[in-house]
Structure 1
Amino acid sequence: MTETRKDVIRETDAEAVRLAKTLIRSARFGALAVIEPGTGAPLASRVGTATDIDGAPLILVSMLAAHTGALLADPRCSLLLGEPGKGDPLAHPRITLACQALRLDRGSAEHLRAERRYLNSNPKAKLYAGLGDFSIFRLEPERASLNGGFGKAYLLDRADLITSGPVVEELAAGEQSALDHMNADHRDAIAIYAHHFGRAEGDGWIATGFDPDGMDLASADGACRVFFPQPLTAARELRAVLIEMAKAGRAAG
């Protein structure tokens, strides 16, 4: 008698998409797997990570590293994200992205934006980001496997992970000035976003990125992802949304 194997993959829903985006946006490092030139063997390495404004992962790597040469020879790669907490590391959410790596040309508009966003999330990288042997790669997700914990497996495609539309470029144009303004004049509001909406603890929170879905916050001890009540459809909506979220957080105590 042949038993029918139960499908362990759940239907992708809004909760799964939000968890996937949270893991990607809040990650500061990950395990990058590439194909070793010559042997075709898998090669894994730890890399620092950030995200472009549309959600694509960014990595800053040395041209001397083995994984960089592998990406230039074959852009196929995968990226594992998700920081283990206490207890069993396999009980914590993680996501594996299947990607195509694209090296960004130094000095291009894409490189300048990616470098700015990467350094906002990883400020210590300023020590070496400008060196000639370092390059930024944008990892273009094709699909992903999300494990949200025991019995919570999902398959996602690019459309689940990447934000598109005119709002992406609109928001990117004014993102840094908005970040500078919030971090200089509204640290109290940022603390509300972290504590009330992000359920984060501790002090010293700053904003490191805005995107159509939400904001990335960081402190000396970690990172926090906060989603807007609704995705932005135009960059001009950002200010009003931030004000309303601060009011709601204060009212909630």
Structure 2
Amino acid sequence: MTQDDMPRSVRDLLRGLDRAALASALPGETGAWPYASLVLVAVDHDLSPILLLSDLAEHTKAIKADDRVSLLFDGTGGLEQPLTGPRVTVLGRAERTTDERSKARFLTRHPDAAMYAGFKDFHFYRVTVERTHLVSGFGKIRWIDRAELASPEAPGLANAETGIVTHMNEDHSDAIQLYASKLLGLSGQDWRMTGIDPEGIDLRQGGQVARLAFDAPLAAGGEARKVLVALVAKARAAA
């Protein structure tokens, strides 16, 4: 991996995972203490992590006192030598959000969360990323700031995402299955699309998530259909 590849590696890792370790500063009588907990995450088009947190949780109390947080995205699962695998620490500030599109993106990524997302003590938070720290193996370590991490933009895609995902799941579930089985080599049935961004699509089957990257980033939301059709052709050719 070259230095130029590292920002893309960070984006792929954050988008490819659906959970992270959240570290916050828990207030105490002797000062704030580092507090780490497991949270479910959806990552927005601009790479901002979206969280759904209960007011009763210790990490939420910490965020209300100090909005600075850290999220560890661990991509080392299944490796015989975990320290050779990639992980990214995100530094940012967490703030409550009422943005409906952000809520929809999270709940599509985590459909089971819909059962408690409407509870009065649960609220959505968006983490504004300030910088990240990538460790992708021994000696492959680098700080990457927000500007360098910026994702390619595809105007119109974020607003069209819900319609695209719904259409694919309801009318083209066979295409999604081809993406999973032929392009990603994944087993099992009933894979569903949970998101699309300029650099790829996100899939889920039960508790398993996967990401299929595009060969080239989308330049506009209107390109999504053409690329998704091309991926079906590619999957059928692979079959």
TM over 0.5: yes
Which residue of 1 is the match for residue 212 of structure 2? Answer: 226
Q: How does 1:196-215 map to 2 (within 5 A)?
A: 196-215=182-201
Q: TM-score, normalised by structure 1?
A: 0.86
User: How far apart are 1:149 and its partner, in Å?
Assistant: 2.4
Instruction: Give a deviation string over 1:63-122, Cα, whole Å, max 9, x none.
Output: 1111112112211110001252243433332111111112113xxxx2x11111111111
Which residue of 1 is the match for residue 164 of structure 2? Answer: 178
Which residue of 2 is the match for residue 100 of structure 1? Answer: 93
User: How far apart are 1:220 and its partner, in Å?
Assistant: 1.9
CA RMSD of aligned residues (A): 1.9
Deviates more, 1:154-163 or 1:126-135: 154-163
**Structure 2, gaps ≥5 residues long:** none
Is 1:69 paired with 2:83? Answer: no
**Structure 1, gaps ≥5 residues long:** 1-9
Q: How does 1:1-253 map to 2 (within 5 A)?
A: 12-14=3-5, 16-38=6-28, 39-83=31-75, 84-105=77-98, 110=99, 112-163=100-151, 165=153, 167-168=154-155, 170-253=156-239
Q: Counterpart of 1:13 in 2: which secondary structure?
A: helix
Instruction: Give a deviation string over 1:128-153, Cα, whole Å, max 9, x none.
Output: 10111111111111111111223322
User: How far apart are 1:164 and its partner, in Å?
Assistant: 5.8
User: How far apart are 1:196 and its partner, in Å?
Assistant: 3.7
What letter corresponds to residue 119 of structure 2 in structure 1?
A: L
User: How far apart are 1:207 and its partner, in Å?
Assistant: 0.4
What letter corresponds to residue 92 of structure 1 in structure 2?
A: G
What percent identity do the matched residue pairs reach?
40
Name the count of aligned residue pairs.
236
User: How far apart are 1:235 and its partner, in Å?
Assistant: 0.7
Contact kept in structure 2, 1:143 and 1:155, CA below 8 Å: yes
